[in-house]
Amino acid sequence: MARVVIDATVTTRRSIEDAFAYVADISKHPEWSPKALRIDGLSGPVAKGTHYTSYGWIPGDKEHRNEVEVTELDSPTRMVLVSTEPDGGEFINTFELSSTGSGTSIKRTMDMPKPTGMLGLVFPLILAFVAKPGFNKGVTTLGAKLDAGS
């Protein structure tokens, strides 16, 4: 199946350890999500293999459910979350952190299945006008939350 990858990077004044602690605290993700997001089935810190359920907004479904697994957790530089759609499709979200000398650079990458059929025909518009702007807004908000002291 064809895949689509989008990414965005933000720099924060926070140390790599502080930035990673915030990114790896999944309960904080709704704070910087560009759309409503709810996390269920998670208590305490995550580790490789942790599973939880997220409910978020996508066009046509404001309570879209995903089963999520933390597949990599390499503090303080990398975390990978694999979200499985009800139809079995997987969205892979990777967070890569690096020290910049004066703070931390956070790169978020989302690797997703490219839709087929009718949805595949309009997907370039959804990607350009909904997915990418929302993704970029979330990464920008993540940096702002970190700089504000979250």
The CATH number of the domain holding residue 64 is 3.30.530.20
What global pTM score does this model have? Answer: 0.95
Angstrom distance (rounded) from CA 73 to CA 45 = 11
Angstrom distance (rounded) from CA 16 to CA 79 = 13
Q: Residues 8-36: pLDDT tens digits?
A: 999 999 999 999 999 999 999 999 999 99
Token look-up 């409910």 returns 55
Q: Is 88's pLDDT higher than 70?
A: yes
Give residue 30's domain range: 3-147
Angstrom distance (rounded) from CA 109 to CA 103 = 20
Q: Residues 35-74: pLDDT tens digits?
A: 999 999 998 899 999 999 999 988 789 999 999 999 999 9
**Tokens (6 digits) for 50:** 């942790």
Answer for the pair 138, 32: CB distance below 8 angstroms, yes or no.
yes
Answer for the pair 110, 9: CB distance below 8 angstroms, yes or no.
no
Number of domains in the chain: 1
